[in-house]
Amino acid sequence: MSTAIVRKPKELQFLETLSKRKRFTSKEKRYYFNLQRGFEGELLFSQFIGKLKNDSIILTDLLLEYNQTTFQVDCLLITRSKIFLYEVKNFEGDYYFDNDKFYKKPRQEIINPFHQLSRAESILRQMLLSIGSNTPIESYVVFVHPTFFLYQSPLDIPAIFPNQIERHVSFLMREAGNVTATERRLASRLVELAKKESPFQKLPEVEYAELNKRITCAACEGLSMRLVKRTCVCGVCGYKESVTTAVLRSISEFQLLFPNERLTTHRSFTGVESLYLRTSFTEYYQQILNRLGQKNGLTMFDRFVSGRMHREVYPLWVLSYSKFILAINRFYLHSLNKVLS
């Protein structure tokens, strides 16, 4: 059975995380919204195309380069007889053609998706020939949003409209037979050639000082998590999450936004200062460290009960409780950085 796996782009993950902690400008909101809508469109189409019961191969979100030209492939369906190339658009509302230009009503010109499709098909065909494949290509722009409507549409454009997607999938079920080793090798070769990151992708610079540092809610993405005994509870939607899970998720968010920086006492999204004073920090940090794995053959618990912890941290207890708390904090963040590096 065919399966279509659509992975969320790194740029979208980055902006999604950043949006929870920073107020976006109008331009940033618009860009983030368009990326999100595009991903949702690809996800929706993958659900349709994933219904295929034959042995076709589905490749999604391929970033390819040929002859110093980079092009994006939203979805590629490799069958025994031909390759189907899909440019997926999640446009909402009314659009129209005018002199080969593409507009959103009333008169907002946008990039013609059929020109994008034609360019991608041409480069893909050249690329396939260069790796020894002359498999025919059939390409379409797929409009997935149910409210999309195109006025003045030429009869011969390679388009699949929202109410035609199911019919197209039924056609593929009848026509596309099981693939052979040749098609599987071709798919593997295309995956090998795909670039991991776009050369044009530029993630925005982030200033730590301008971000909200609180732990976010995994359900509603709010910043109203409070500690009730040993559980984080959202003050907005009531969602409950263990402290360990919440801190691990916040650490992942910090790493995504600041991949080259180390966690420190004052640079993290764990909300550790307030949590330490109201819960058993030793217990939940041991869980976090042990869940993240082992290093040099010793678990984090082994490190906790020996060596540096006893030499440097425990003696502070008799001097000052607050110094002891901060020392525990630094010790665990140091250990986290060791595991994560």
Q: DSSP letter string over 279-305?
A: S-HHHHHHHHHHHH--BTTB-HHHHHT
The number of angstroms, rounded, from the C-alpha of 179 to the middle of its chain's C-alpha atoms is 30
pLDDT digit string, tens, across residues 213-236: 888 888 998 888 887 777 888 889
Residues 303 and 170 in one domain: no
From 146, 167, 193, give the residue that closes a domain.
Answer: 193
Residues 185 and 229 in one domain: no
Residues 52 and 188 in one domain: yes
Residue 322: predicted pLDDT: 47
- 267 lies in some domain: yes
From 161, 193, 225, give the residue that closes a domain.
Answer: 193
CA angle 271, 272, 273 (to 5 degrees): 100
Distance CA 152, CA 317 (A): 78
Residue 239: predicted pLDDT: 93
Residue 226: predicted pLDDT: 81
Residues 124 and 171 in one domain: yes
Asked if residue 239 lies in contact with residue 220, where contact means CB atoms within 8 angstroms, the answer is yes
CA angle 96, 100, 103 (to 5 degrees): 30
DSSP assignments along 160-191, one per residue = E-GGGHHHHHHHHHHH-----HHHHHHHHHHH
Residue 242 backbone dihedrals phi, psi, to 5 degrees: -65, 150
Contacts by 15-22, CB closer than 8 A, 24 or more apart: 17/253, 17/256, 17/257, 18/204, 18/206, 18/211, 18/257, 20/212, 20/216, 20/221, 20/223, 20/253, 21/211, 21/212, 21/213, 21/216, 21/223, 21/269, 22/206, 22/210, 22/211, 22/212
Residue numbers in the chain where pLDDT is lower than 50 = 1, 272-282, 293-322, 324-325, 339-340
Domain holding 233, by residue range, is 211-340
Residue 96: predicted pLDDT: 96
Return the CATH number at 16.
3.40.1350.10
User: Tokens 């039924």 label which residue?
Assistant: 170
- The two tokens of residue 145 are 């949003």
- 82 lies in some domain: yes
DSSP 8-state secondary structure symbol assigned to residue 204: P
Please state the domain count of the chain.
Answer: 2
